[in-house]
Amino acid sequence: MTMWHAQRASVFCYGLGLAVGAIGSGCVNDHDPGAGEESASAAITIDVNAGYTVTGVDSNKCVGVAGASTASNARLDIETCNGTASQRFHPEAMGGGFFRLRNELSGLCADVLGASTTAGALVIQFACGTGQNQQWSFTDVAGGAERITVRHSGEVLDVTGRGTADGTQLEQWPSNNGANQQFRMATALTPRPPE
């Protein structure tokens, strides 16, 4: 095992890396004014061999694919947690502390629609590729929650309008430390699907 530290632009990444790639590195994003390297000391470690549920702090509801769709362009939303595959995501290391999030049911990845850099652009599922609009980093925030930042725009995963109702869509939005931009990641009790 080796401990490594990489700095890329204003992003600080810390973590453990195994030669076989079993564990990826979590990444702490330093987009907040006044934030410093000290904020990176408790970065999440992402296990690329695990599946995760992603639960909104504001709503206590799970991120899922609307209607459990397996189609490209289906939007991601929050919904009452039910333990189904449409609410489980498998991280795939993309380098630099960023990860794709592949939905277990559809095999598609969390994606900012059209690689838009506009605040409010929808987060959907789409065929997995190498685009930075499918690459996400994780920043520890209060209470064991994470802020999830997309690489191409530097904006964060956000529950639209601080909604808490089932079906409230996800979007990218500038970080404002709102609880609707904080998510708890829990390892799901299912095996990683075959690739």
Cα Rg, the chain, nearest whole Å: 15
Q: Is domain 49-187 classified as CATH 2.80.10.50?
A: yes
Number of residues assigned to the chain: 195
Q: List, for residues 104-159, the tens digit of each pLDDT value.
A: 999 999 999 999 999 999 999 999 999 999 999 999 998 889 999 999 999 999 99
Rounded mean pLDDT, 4-8: 27
3-state secondary structure of 193: coil
- Every domain of the chain and the residues it spans: 49-187
Q: Measured between alpha carbons, how far is residue 89 from residues 9, 25, 178, 182 in Å?
A: 27, 16, 23, 17
Q: What pLDDT score does 144 carry? A: 87
pTM value is 0.77
What totals of helices (H) and strands (E) does the chain contain, helices first?
Answer: 0, 15
Q: List, for residues 164-176, the tens digit of each pLDDT value.
A: 999 999 999 999 9
171 neighbors 158 (Cβ within 8 angstroms): yes
- Please name which of 125, 68, 136 lies closest in space to residue 96, comparing C-alpha atoms: 136
* The one-letter amino acid at 69: S
To 10 degrees, the CA torsion angle through 8, 53, 42, 181?
70
DSSP string spanning 33-80? TT--GGGGTT----BTTS-EEEEETTT--EEEEGGG--STTPBEEEE-
Residue 15: pLDDT above 50? no
Strand residue runs (E) in 96-182: 98-103, 109-112, 123-126, 136-140, 146-150, 156-159, 170-173
